[in-house]
Amino acid sequence: MSKASSLGTGSSFRQAQSISPRRAAIDAATSAPTDGALPTVKLPVSLISLNPLNPRSSLGDLTDLAKSLRDHGQKTAISIMSRLAYLEANPELAEELEKGTKYVAIDGNSRLAAAREAGFEEVKVMLDEDLGSNPDEILESALVANVHRQDLDHLDEARALQQLLAVHGTQEALAARLHRSQGWISQRLALLGLTPELKQKLQTGQEPAELLRQVGRKKPEEQASQLQLLKEQRAKKKVIRQAEPPKPPEPVNPPTESAKPAPVTRPPAVTREDPIVAASSPEDRQKTLGRYLELVGGPEVFVADLVESCTTEYRQQLAELLLNDL
């Protein structure tokens, strides 16, 4: 049937676009909100079942999430399907859905469970029947939502990817579908090849996922030694980085013309035409130099001033000229 066929509007949501015959039938059978690109509304939590196909094998401790919902309210709506549409795709799961519910959470199982724990009577939801017409599409919808939040358990993620790989055929096709690289898919699937011991350490956080992804393709008997080698290499790189001297900070603003250091000027070479040594005779030069020393405060002051203001080369030339007259 064409999804473009329009057969009326739902009872709980305002009309946003045309609806399919299937969704109109759902509306008639269950009073489900089935209108097009639907706005966010509130539904009782008792009407929404957790998804048996949720990629998460465990929702974990919901204490912090429940507290956040109580303190700050629900910021993101839960994406749901009607129970009827869900069972059209998954008839074998009828007994696994919670009794008395009319909808199934696809994206937001943790938020739904935390809302229950926090004592909420209603939650914000958005109905979207296009989340899946078969089990693989429903799994994919739930997986994509979790992958983009990057908080899915590593092994749960790998198992869901393996199931989707069977549908899409190749890692390249699955990567394109999830808007990820083929390497991203391959690295995560590698975790399924870990030994039971390493899988346990991954789940407990004893070993990092980024290293375990590199050993999952190794033979089981080689994985532990390969992991140890990678950890040693990482430790060496860390020591090298810590030993490197810190780079000087970059200047916030480039120096202006006025801030640039003045060019170094060298004193002119001393010659016999210099005023100090240009007297007509050695005797006159001795008198001139003696008078100069008196005026500047004595030989010590003269030498100190000479050392401070003149280069070694200049002082050497001056000494040679003066000693030649002695």
Tens digits of residue pLDDT in 129-156: 777 667 777 777 777 766 655 567 888 8
Would you state the pLDDT for residue 176? Answer: 86
More confident site: 166 or 188: 188
Question: What's the pLDDT score for residue 254?
Answer: 60
Instruction: Enumerate the β-bridge partners of residue 127.
Output: 80
Residues in the chain: 326
pLDDT score of 235? 87
CA dihedral defined by 271, 273, 279, 280, rounded to 10 degrees?
110
Contact indicator for 7, 19 with CB cutoff of 8 Å: yes
Question: Is 127 within 8 Å of 83 (Cβ atoms)?
Answer: no
Q: CA 208, CA 230: separation in Å to the nearest integer?
A: 11
pLDDT at residue 70 above 60?
A: yes
Over range 278-304, report the average pLDDT: 67
Name every residue whose Cβ is closer than 8 Å to that of residue 262 and which is 6 or more positions away in sequence. none
Query: Given a cut of 70, is residue 258 above it in pLDDT?
Result: no
- Of the pLDDT bands very low, low, confident and very high (cuts 50, 70, 90), residue 35 is very low
Q: Are 185 and 162 in contact (CB under 8 A)?
A: no
Residue 243, pLDDT > 50, answer yes
Rounded Cα distance between 14 and 35, Å, is 7
Predicted pLDDT at 266: 55
Q: What is the pTM of this model?
A: 0.46
47 is written with which tokens?
Answer: 């009407």
Kindly state the percentage of the chain with pLDDT values over 90: 25
Instruction: Please give the pLDDT value at position 236.
Output: 85
pLDDT at 44 over 60: yes
| pLDDT tens sequence across 75-105 | 888 889 899 888 888 888 899 999 999 999 9
Q: Are 204 and 177 in contact (CB under 8 A)?
A: no
pLDDT score recorded for residue 19: 46
- Supply the mean pLDDT for the chain: 75
